[in-house]
């Protein structure tokens, strides 16, 4: 062999083995597009807005991005492509018509050459073709929910895959705490809770078999009220979730819980799920302050008693209440420092119901794993989405992080729901020098009001200023409709400029007395949730709160008198 050729071959082989392979990454945006990140991370905006509320997302091997939309209007999915290699999407197309009646889309995952996505009632997939942005083949229905419940609480269908051909799907509980009267003060819990037969758990299915229904699956785990964040960890071959804890401790059990405790409790639970796991809902919840799982008040609990909960699965980490963990992703790429390898990123969408304290969450958290085990600590990885401090109402937040996915080069992609914005986060520094200084910088973000534990007095937003109908509203109505009356996007309707509020007094009073189930339209938008009855309030309290609603938030309607509530109730209270 020619000596020069031999030398070139040896050097080339050495470099392939030992030389650092540089990944060409596009430049980040100025100021990291508004995000706070550890040093040497950069962020750019892939797309500033898509026409629809973005949920989960997935990135293909060629960099194409697929996003699930909340609603199925004119195609429930969006495909994005960057043809100029600047990191910005210049092709944005909607696709995907599905026929079920469910709207509340959640999942978007790429697995074994297929694009899987979900509505609230089904899981679908398309076969992906190399180089082709929009799938052209027929859509397959892998799973249909044949046990839909009247109320659409917690009816998203997040999905995950193991490496054995199995698909895992969450069936959320259509209830807050399985009360005899849902979300009604002092109503006891049903024991045993019948909803657990086909809700409040995770079922396992064949990932390749079309037309399955729930009976074709195996109930893999139970006692899980609401799961949106779920992923399979290839590091230890286990399923993990972050569960939404129950709501309304103050509103339902004001004699047991202060406003401060109700804001902080119960925990959002980070759980390792194995076959047969029982996380305890609705009988138990996790108190991260006491670091124990306690008996729910609907089942005789007092905020301290453990009882039957000692047998329930305890979380690996208990995050503060109502942060709304909406995606979970285990990082397997090589672009980021080794600190992030096989660790868990969590998208905290942000609370709606921590009043009278600031809303919290609205950031991307990270849980390090070492040798397949979580370290027990959690970190702030990306913050600044909300763009406001403090966050008084959920809809004050400019952005609310929702989905997490990884690109082929190890970049992390984040979607958010309010505008449909997508960020790409990249690491540009020396991986070997990443360590405590960068982590300490982000640890300081925990002092921000959307992350820190609020002070019981200093952070109370209504101290000394709220009385009468406003106080009743903040306690019983604001957790859904928000302090500004504008509701929460996609979940709870606004009270502004709608005849539901300013129109027929009798209908409005009856709505408060009797509650409302099913789909309604408010200001041209569709809502399908549960409005609990508030007949436990005194006639004067109902009159005061409805007068407050009709004469605030830009409304200019007449007052409601106590006598009108009495007449609607059908009797006068002594």
- Cα–Cα distances (Å) from 168 to 120, 135, 198, 220, 273, in that order, read 15, 23, 14, 8, 11
Asked whether residue 572 carries a pLDDT value surpassing 80, the answer given is no
What DSSP designation does 312 have?
S
Range with the lowest mean pLDDT among 185-194, 253-262, 316-325, 556-565? 556-565
How far is 333 from 315, CA to CA, in rounded Å? 26
pLDDT at residue 7, rounded to an integer: 46
Instruction: Please give the helix or strand (H or E) that residue 226 lies within, else none.
Output: strand 226-233
Quick check: 5 pLDDT over 60?
A: no
- Has residue 284 got a pLDDT over 80? yes
- Tell me the two tokens of residue 80: 């994005």
Residues in the chain, overall count: 574
Provide the CATH topology of domain 41-205+214-237+320-447.
Neuraminidase (2.120.10)
Q: What is the pTM of this model?
A: 0.87
**356: which 2 tokens?**
């009278």
Element (H, E) at 469: helix 468-476
User: In the chain, where are the structural domains located?
Assistant: 41-205+214-237+320-447, 468-569
Rounded Cα distance, 295 and 305, in Å = 6
Dist CA 443 CA 440 (whole Å): 5
Rounded-to-10 torsion of CA 446, 451, 452, 456: 170
| 241: pLDDT strictly greater than 90 | yes
What pLDDT is attached to residue 557?
Answer: 87
pLDDT of residue 8: 45
- What DSSP string describes 83-140? SSSSS---EEEEE----SS------EEEETTEEEEE-SSEEEEEE--TT-SS--S--E
172, 227 Cβ separation under 8 angstroms: yes
Say if strands 218-222 and 277-278 run parallel, antiparallel, or are unpaired.
Answer: parallel
Segment 269-291 shows an average pLDDT of 98
468-569: CATH homologous superfamily?
Cytochrome c-like domain (1.10.760.10)
Span 496-500, mean pLDDT?
A: 88
329 burial level (CB within 10 Å; 0-12, 13-18, 19+) = buried
Which has more pLDDT, 463 or 566?
566
d(CA 337, CA 425): 13
Average pLDDT value for the chain: 91
Count of alpha carbons within 13 Å of 509, Cβ hemisphere only? 23
How many whole angstroms separate alpha carbon 327 and alpha carbon 324? 9
Q: Distance between CA atoms of 412 and 35, rounded to whole angstroms?
A: 14
Rounded Cα gap, residues 286 and 284, in angstroms = 7
Nearest to 495 by CA among 539, 457, 550: 550
334 pLDDT exceeds 90?
yes
Q: Tell me, what's the pLDDT at 150?
A: 61
pLDDT of 483: 81
Comparing 73-82, 160-169, 372-381, the range with the smallest average pLDDT is 73-82
Distance CA 22, CA 335 (A): 10
| 140-157 mean pLDDT | 83
Q: What are the tokens at 417? A: 């729901």
Q: CA dist 502 to 174, 305, 456, 549, 559, Å? A: 30, 45, 35, 9, 10
User: Which residue, among 390, 386, 384, 385, has the nearest Cα to 460 in the 3D structure?
Assistant: 390
CA angle centred on 416, ends 415 and 417, rounded to 5°:
130
Average pLDDT over residues 195-210: 97
Q: Pick from 257, 205, 248, 196: which is nearest to 225 by CA?
A: 196
| 401 bridge partner residues | 416
Tell me how far apart the alpha carbons of residues 541 and 26 are, in angstroms, rounded to a whole number.
58
8 A C-beta contact, residue 235 and residue 369: yes
Which residues lie below 8 Å from residue 551, measured CB to CB, with a gap of 6+? 557, 559
Quote the strand ranges of 291-336, DSSP E. Answer: 292-295, 317-319, 325-330
pLDDT at 406 over 90: yes
Residues 290 and 122: their CA atoms lie apart, in Å, by: 39
Token reading at 424 = 């790409």
pLDDT of residue 524 exceeding 80, the answer is no
Decide which of 480 and 125 is more confident: 125
SS3 category, 373: strand
Q: Kindly calculate the radius of gyration of the chain based on its CA atoms and give it in whole angstroms.
A: 25
Cite the DSSP H helix spans in 488-561: 499-502, 505-514, 539-550
Q: ω before 486 within 30° of 0 (cis)?
A: no
| pLDDT over 70 percentage in the chain | 93
**pLDDT beyond 80 at 531:** yes
Nearest-angstrom CA–CA distance, 420 and 433: 35
Q: What is the mean pLDDT of residues 273-300?
A: 98
Look at residue 152 in the predicted model and tell me its pLDDT.
65
Tokens representing residue 218 in the block: 């195996």
Q: Give the pLDDT confidence of 87-139 residue by residue, as tens digits.
A: 999 999 999 877 776 678 899 999 999 999 999 899 999 999 999 999 998 99
Query: What does the pLDDT read at residue 10?
Result: 46
Q: What angle do CA 475, 480, 481 make, to 5 degrees?
A: 90
At a CB cut-off of 8 Å and minimum separation 6, what does 408 contact?
A: 59, 60, 61, 62, 63
Percentage of the chain exceeding pLDDT 90:
69
């Amino acid at each position: 062999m020619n000596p020069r050729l031999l030398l070139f071959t040896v050097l080339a082989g050495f470099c392939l083995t030992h030389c650092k392979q540089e990944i060409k990454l596009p430049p980040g945006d100025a100021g990291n597009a508004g995000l706070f990140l550890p040093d040497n991370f950069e962020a750019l905006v892939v797309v500033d807005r898509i026409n629809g509320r973005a949920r989960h997302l997935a990135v293909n091997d060629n960099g194409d991005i697929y996003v699930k939309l909340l609603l199925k209007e004119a195609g429930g999915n969006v495909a994005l492509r960057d043809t100029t290699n600047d990191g910005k999407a210049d092709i944005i197309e909607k696709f995907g018509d599905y026929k079920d009646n469910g709207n509340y889309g959640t999942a978007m995952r790429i697995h074994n050459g297929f694009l899987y996505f979900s509505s609230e009632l089904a899981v679908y997939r398309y076969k992906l073709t190399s180089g082709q942005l929009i799938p052209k083949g027929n859509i397959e229905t892998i799973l249909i929910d044949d046990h839909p419940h009247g109320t659409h609480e917690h009816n998203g269908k997040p999905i995950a895959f193991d490496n054995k051909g199995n698909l895992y799907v969450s069936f959320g509980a259509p209830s807050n705490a399985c009360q005899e009267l849902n979300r009604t003060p002092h109503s006891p819990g049903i024991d045993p809770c019948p909803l657990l037969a086909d809700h409040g758990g995770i079922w396992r299915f064949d990932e390749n078999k079309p037309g399955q229904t729930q009976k074709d699956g195996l109930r893999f785990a139970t006692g899980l009220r609401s799961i949106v964040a779920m992923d399979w960890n290839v590091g230890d071959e286990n399923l993990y979730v972050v569960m939404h804890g129950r709501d309304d401790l103050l509103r339902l059990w004001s004699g047991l819980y202060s406003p401060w405790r109700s804001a902080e409790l119960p925990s959002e639970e980070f759980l390792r799920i194995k076959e047969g796991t029982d996380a305890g809902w609705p009988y138990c919840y996790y108190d991260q302050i006491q670091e124990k799982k306690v008996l729910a008040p609907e089942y005789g609990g007092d905020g301290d008693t453990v009882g039957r909960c000692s047998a329930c699965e305890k979380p690996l980490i208990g995050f503060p209440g109502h942060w709304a963990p909406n995606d979970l992703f285990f990082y397997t790429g090589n672009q980021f420092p080794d600190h992030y390898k096989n660790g868990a990123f969590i998208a905290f969408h942000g609370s709606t119901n921590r009043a009278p304290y600031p809303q919290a969450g609205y950031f991307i958290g990270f849980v390090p794993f070492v040798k397949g085990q979580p370290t027990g600590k959690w970190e702030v990885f990306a913050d600044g989405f909300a763009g406001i401090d403090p966050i008084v109402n959920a809809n004050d937040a400019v952005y609310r992080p929702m989905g997490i996915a990884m690109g082929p080069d190890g970049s992390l992609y984040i979607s958010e729901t309010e505008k449909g914005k997508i960020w790409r986060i990249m690491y540009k520094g020396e991986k070997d020098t990443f360590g405590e200084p960068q982590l300490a910088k982000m640890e300081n973000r925990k002092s921000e009001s959307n992350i820190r534990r609020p002070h019981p007095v200093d952070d109370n937003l209504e101290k000394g200023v709220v009385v009468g109908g406003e106080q009743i509203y903040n306690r019983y109505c604001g957790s859904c409709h928000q302090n500004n009356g504008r509701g929460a996007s996609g979940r709870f309707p606004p009270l502004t400029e709608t005849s539901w509020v300013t129109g027929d007094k009798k209908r409005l009073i009856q709505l408060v007395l009797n509650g409302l189930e099913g789909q309604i339209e408010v200001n041209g938008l569709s809502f399908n949730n549960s409005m609990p009855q508030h007949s436990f309030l005194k006639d004067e309290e109902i009159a005061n709160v409805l007068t407050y609603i009709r004469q605030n938030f830009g409304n200019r309607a007449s007052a409601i008198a106590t006598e009108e509530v009495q007449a609607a109730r059908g009797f006068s209270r002594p």
